[in-house]
Amino acid sequence: MNLNLGDFVRFVDENIEGYITRIIDKDTIGVTDSNDFEIPVQASKVTLVHGEIPDENTVVSNRQAAVVPVAEFIKEGVYLGLVTDQHSTAVAHFNLLNETSFQLLATLTTEKGGNYKGEFAAIIPAHSAKKIFSANLGDIQLWPKFNIEVLFSTSANVEPSAPLIYRENIKGKDLSVAKVEIPLLKQKGWLIRLDEPEPLIDAQKLKESFFKAR
Comparing 8 with 57, the larger pLDDT belongs to 8
Comparing 162 with 214, the larger pLDDT belongs to 162
- Answer yes or no: are the C-beta atoms of 91 and 10 closer than 8 Å: no
Specify the amino acid at residue 85: D
Angle at 195 between CA 6 and CA 176, to 5 degrees: 55
Comparing 203 with 102, the larger pLDDT belongs to 102
Q: For position 56, what pLDDT does the model report?
A: 47
| pLDDT tens digits, 82-116 | 999 988 888 999 999 999 999 999 999 999 999 99
- Which of 2-16, 44-58, 86-100 tops mean pLDDT? 86-100
Q: Is the pLDDT assigned to residue 191 strictly greater than 50?
A: yes
Can you give the residue ranges of every domain in the chain?
8-50, 70-193
Comparing 35 with 126, the larger pLDDT belongs to 126
- Whole-angstrom Cα distance, residue 90 to residue 137? 5
Q: For position 195, what pLDDT does the model report?
A: 92
- HEC profile for 144-176? CEEEEEEEEECCCCCCCCCCEEEEECCCHHHHC
- Whole-angstrom Cα distance, residue 99 to residue 29? 35
- Whole-angstrom Cα distance, residue 151 to residue 165? 9
- Whole-angstrom Cα distance, residue 15 to residue 118? 36
Q: Is the pLDDT assigned to residue 214 strictly greater than 90?
A: no
- Answer yes or no: are the C-beta atoms of 105 and 81 closer than 8 Å: no
* pLDDT, averaged across the chain: 86
Residues in the chain: 214
Specify the amino acid at residue 134: S
CA distances from 149 to 93, 135, 140, 178, 207 (A): 18, 20, 22, 27, 38
Task: Looking at the structure, give the CATH architecture of the domain made up of residues 70-193.
Answer: Sandwich (2.60)
Q: For position 108, what pLDDT does the model report?
A: 97
Domain 8-50 CATH class label: mainly beta
Q: For position 59, what pLDDT does the model report?
A: 44
Q: Is the pLDDT assigned to residue 197 strictly greater than 80?
A: no
Mean pLDDT, to the nearest integer, of 60-70? 55
Q: For position 66, what pLDDT does the model report?
A: 57
- Whole-angstrom Cα distance, residue 151 to residue 161? 8
Confidence of residue 72 (pLDDT cuts 50, 70, 90): confident
- The fraction of the chain above a pLDDT of 70, given in percent, is 81
Q: What is the reported pTM?
A: 0.75
- Please choose, from the candidates 151, 156, 155, the residue with its C-alpha nearest in 3D space to the C-alpha of residue 195: 151
